[in-house]
Amino acid sequence: MTMYITLGISVLMIILGFIALLKQKIYIDADTQKATEIDIPILGKMKTNYPSLVFIFLGVLIIFYSIEKFHPPPLVEWKIEGTFVTSDSNFDWYNGQLSLFPKNIDAEVRSNGKFVITLDIEKGKTFEDVVEWIDYSHQAGSIKIIPANEWQAHNSGKPNSIQNKTSHSRTYKNIELVALPKPKPPN
């Protein structure tokens, strides 16, 4: 509804600007006593009613702004997969918590340590542009992945955790759980 009101006001501004141009009232500069001239890129110099042009240009500018604001770019589905591993064959991955930043992303860890992240990303952006970090926390240890760092290392040929990549997916290599130090027994 807001978009239609904004577009209506913009169209009204353009129409009123054109009506004023058709009346062609020319303003005289008080200092030079000559008709006011303005230099418009591409069109050149004009002796005209510049407030009318301001109305037209503002109307057009508001229309483009409204279209950009109220029609966001299309989204593309991304899928990120990988596997967390540990030397403990009976490890319960469900007792940990997988979290990402930002938080509005669908993510899960399965019983075998495989993680799957599914999210919609604005067309033209990548997973590494959107997700700052992936963290798996468990009482036995944790794993932290910073996608932008992994992607940069991958692109520069340095050691990284990326196994496969496509234009809308990433598959990470097995990532080892970093064990927390075991508490010392009380004396």
Tens digits of per-residue pLDDT, 49-106?
Answer: 666 777 788 888 888 888 777 777 889 999 999 999 998 888 999 999 999 888 777 7
Average pLDDT over residues 127-155: 93
Give how far Cα 146 sits from Cα of 133, 135, 163, 172, Å.
5, 9, 15, 12
What pLDDT, on a 0 to 100 scale, did the predictor assign at position 134?
93
The whole-chain average pLDDT of the chain stands at: 84
Q: For helices 50-70 and 2-23, what crossing angle results, to 10°?
A: 160
Could you tell me the domains of the chain? Answer: 2-70 (no CATH), 75-179 (2.60.40)
Whole-model pTM over 0.95: no
Q: Are 165 and 154 in contact (CB under 8 A)?
A: yes
Buried b (16+ CB within 10 A) or exposed e, 144-172: ebebeebbeebeeeeebbbeeeeeeebeb
User: pLDDT tens digits for 150-172?
Assistant: 999 999 999 999 999 999 999 99
Distance of alpha carbon 103 from alpha carbon 135, whole angstroms? 11
Query: Which pLDDT value is given to residue 72?
Result: 77
